[in-house]
Structure 1
């Protein structure tokens, strides 16, 4: 079970443009991990289409990131879920549904990872 699952993206659709980092109970958190802002997607060559993404394990972080315009309609908008530890993409997405049901519920696309 993943205890601390971070969300990087737009928490509330249409209210405040910009991407922020949140922890579990949706508190805005230190945004020092802002390299998630399309960095992995660009490096992996993932086409900028909603739902297209990638999974990575970097050091002790497991990350699922994907293009997402449900919170911010601008190009290069994306979302990411990540946790410290070695987890699979499926474990991260399952935890995301549990930890962030309102955010995960607004996705109107299938998440397809490389």
Structure 2
């Protein structure tokens, strides 16, 4: 895969005793334990991955951001995060672990939309995706569209009538039209006159 991808959540395919919440890497359609190696490179801490990214920041328990006691934790409400060249989507998920506080988080290198991250979750972790979507549908955040690059315009600029103050020894070259250098009676400086119009500085 061209993006480095990790899943944080319960690695079990159904509720019951088993894997627990860890960081997993894709492995032939299943998951492989990647907890220690991934934590060294990801821009989010374990505490952030373990529920903080899934919860509503306005309702966080400020003493311990992993516990979202005042939130009813609706499953499948996707929250999108970007940090340090990585993208994460996170949502409350009790499809593997039925306890409150259980969440799923997908982290991928690069900058992606929530929709792109969901497609990546489906491709990289199909068994986890099937477990999740048997229980609920994901609700994506409303995102502003990515700005399209500005078109390059070719603009025709009409010829301009230019007058410039000319230093004593400067020779005018590369002018588009013929210019006469004449003394300015008021100041004694010389000005370039193009197209018959004389302007002094």
Specify the TM-score bucket, using the shorter chain as the normaliser.
0.7 to 0.9
Aligned to 1:36: 49
Instruction: Give the CA RMSD over aligned residues.
Output: 2.0
Contact between 1:55 and 1:89, CA under 8 Å: does it hold in 2? yes
Paired residues, number? 114
Q: Give me the whole-angstrom Cα distance separating, in 2, the residues matched to 1:47 and 1:60.
A: 31
1:27 aligns with 2:52: no
Q: Give me the whole-angstrom Cα distance separating, in 2, the residues matched to 1:39 and 1:7.
A: 15
Give unmatched runs, 5+ long, in structure 1. Answer: none
Shift of 1:99: 1.0
> How do residues 56-95 of structure 1 correspond to structure 2 at under 5 angstroms?
56-95=81-120
Contact between 1:44 and 1:54, CA under 8 Å: does it hold in 2? no
TM-score relative to the length of structure 1: 0.87
Give unmatched runs, 5+ long, in structure 2. Answer: 40-44, 59-70, 142-201
CA radius of gyration, larger in: 2
Shift of 1:43: 5.2
TM-score relative to the length of structure 2: 0.52
